[in-house]
């Protein structure tokens, strides 16, 4: 697809967007701990689908990246897209970081969770709405 989308094999020993806060072991241990906490939180909120679904995608993406780190010692990135250039002071980004499908699941889910956290509430289930309307009608008749 021209220069916009390319498949480029990149091995990422660091973290998201090329960060490097420590050794590959640090990223493996930190992401494993985060995954355990995330799975616990997902389990405790499993009935809230608007929260559980994106958390499951984040957990799946994290697990995929952990598997890469265990197998290869680094994460395999291959999707190379060129969206738009960013200039912030002396920092210039002319081509975006390469990523993989796990990264995409994590990123889209985080954006979704931030969006519903800032701008909206999760939709009510139809059963919950029916239960509330029945409770209201019973309390108004008594």
Give me the pLDDT at residue 119, please: 87
Neighbour count for residue 55 (Cβ, 10 Å): 19
90 or 136: which leads in pLDDT: 90
- This prediction has a pTM of 0.74
% of the chain at pLDDT higher than 70 = 80
Give me the pLDDT at residue 85, please: 72
Active site annotation includes 82: no
With beta carbons less than 8 A apart as the criterion, state whether 105 and 63 touch.
no
Q: Mean pLDDT over residues 97-123, rounded?
A: 87
Question: What is the C-alpha separation between 112 and 117, in angstroms, rounded?
Answer: 8
Give me the pLDDT at residue 124, please: 57
Instruction: Please check the confidence at residue 84 and state whether its pLDDT lies above 90.
Output: no
> 22 vs 61, 72, 123, CA distance in Å?
21, 17, 40
71 or 131: which leads in pLDDT: 71
All structural domains of the chain with their residue ranges: 5-141
Residue 74's nearest CA partner among 98, 104, 92 is 98
For 18-71, how does the pLDDT look when each residue is reduced to its tens digit (9 = 90+)? Answer: 777 888 889 999 999 999 999 999 999 899 888 899 999 999 999 999 999 999
The catalytic residue among 68, 77, 80, 131 is 77
């Amino acid at each position: 697809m021209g220069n916009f989308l390319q498949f480029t094999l990149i091995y990422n020993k660091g973290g998201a967007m090329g960060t490097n806060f420590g050794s590959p072991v640090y990223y493996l241990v930190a992401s494993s701990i985060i995954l355990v906490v995330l799975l616990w939180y997902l389990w405790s909120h499993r009935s809230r689908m608007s929260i559980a679904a994106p958390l499951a995608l984040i957990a799946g993406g994290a697990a995929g990246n952990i598997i890469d780190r265990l197998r290869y010692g680094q994460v395999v990135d291959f999707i190379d897209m060129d969206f738009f250039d960013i200039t912030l002071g002396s920092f210039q980004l002319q081509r975006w970081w390469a990523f993989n499908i796990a990264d995409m699941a994590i990123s889209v889910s985080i954006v979704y969770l931030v969006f519903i956290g800032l701008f909206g509430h999760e939709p009510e289930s139809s059963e919950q709405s029916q239960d509330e309307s029945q409770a209201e009608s019973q309390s108004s008749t008594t």
